[in-house]
Amino acid sequence: MPGPCHWRGMCLLRAVRSRKVSEATIDSSVRNILNLTNKILPVLNCRPVEEGNTQQKRDLCRETARSSVVLLRNSRNLLPLDAGPASRQTFSLIGSNAFCPPAMGGGSNDLIPFYVSKPFKALTAVVGKDRVKAAVGCYGTPAITPHTGSKVG
């Protein structure tokens, strides 16, 4: 389960042995989990199996991302960015995620993406390497390890 495991494993075993937690309490908790499982199991089994990486789903994801961008102010008319070959506009990316973005789910899921676009590589493919400046900056939390699957590109 997600979250810190303060009350599982050896801590729980010690609490039961020292009679701080009764077996009835554990039975009740397990019963709650099983009741929830039995309640949602029919719903899970009724869903049709869908193909994962389809053009339709990629289009939906891109449209969702486009629709969710909010521009608060563009007072200096910097947007839209000019990616054309005649433009002298340069782009800066700062942060380790520009080179190796973390691609994962959160909590208790295990999500392996179909592919991962690296911002530096994607931007230089569009505007050319001379117009993109990038720096790692400082590293974030070491708890997030980069996805290193073969579909990273």
Indicate the DSSP class of residue 64. H
Determine, yes or no, domain membership for 93: yes
Q: Do 27 and 84 reside in the same domain of the chain?
A: no
* Cα 8–Cα 14–Cα 15 angle in degrees, nearest 5: 80
Cβ-based neighbours of 133, under 8 Å, separated by 6 or more: 90, 91, 92, 93
Q: Do 61 and 110 reside in the same domain of the chain?
A: yes
Q: Do 62 and 117 reside in the same domain of the chain?
A: yes
Per-residue model confidence as pLDDT tens digits over 23-68: 999 999 999 999 998 888 877 666 666 677 888 888 998 899 888 8
Determine, yes or no, domain membership for 145: no
Q: Do 36 and 61 reside in the same domain of the chain?
A: no
Model pTM? 0.51
Determine, yes or no, domain membership for 4: no
Residue 81 has pLDDT above 90, yes or no: no
Determine, yes or no, domain membership for 59: yes
Quote the pLDDT of residue 152: 46
Q: Do 114 and 72 reside in the same domain of the chain?
A: yes
Quote the pLDDT of residue 39: 86
Structural domain containing residue 21: 10-46
Per-residue model confidence as pLDDT tens digits over 83-97: 888 888 889 999 888
Q: Check whether the bond before 80 is cis (ω within 30° of 0).
A: yes
Per-residue model confidence as pLDDT tens digits over 1-26: 555 666 678 888 898 999 999 999 99
Domain count, the chain: 2
